[in-house]
A = this chain, B = another copy of it.
Amino acid sequence: MGMADIKDEAIDALFRQLVRDAEQGGYRLNPDMAFTKALVRGLLVNKGRYGYMSCPCRLSTGKKEDDLDLICPCDYRDSDLSEYGACYCALYVSEDIFKGLKKVRPVPERRLPETSAADGGAGITTANIMANATTGFSLKYPVWRCKVCGYLCARDEPPGICPVCKAGKERFERFI
């Protein structure tokens, strides 16, 4: 299936769903509508080609188990949002970029060529085997706690916005 086979209605429908899901979870799509719709079209092309919506800016193998980490939103989105203010494609952007306070800059590829979905890329992209003096056990990621509502998540850094109560990143504390 080529680019030309994707109908505008399908792009609009997926775009609306992505906006809704993003906003419910405290995420933002790139406000450059033409740019974003081109990426959404790419997602639909990949859906037709592979059967799943892998990243429109990367090369998929077509073998789902090897591409799991590339299915959008990819496993690297949130680390890239934290570090660069945008995901690799710039489909998802930070609140500052969404509001026009900052500009998108290039995001280097966080996934190494040999990364497969088997280890989710996590072992490679982050120094995430933690020994915690307080708890005496090891976890792959730190656990963050929203000081407002108690939401817990395990990732390199807290999310930009709490998905439950929408408190900002600075309201999170390290919990484990």
Contact = CB atoms under 8 A, between A and B. Distances in A.
Nearest to A174: B140
A56 to B, nearest CB: 16
A35 interface: no
Contact of A150 (B148, B155, B176): B155
The number of chain A residues touching the other chain, given as a range, is: 35 or more
A154 interface: yes
B138 A149 contact: no
Interface string A65-105: 00011010111011000000000000000000000000000
Give how many copies assemble into the complex: 3
A151 interface: yes
A156 to B, nearest CB: 9
Nearest to A132: B137
A8 interface: no
Contact of A147 (B25, B75, B150, B159): B75
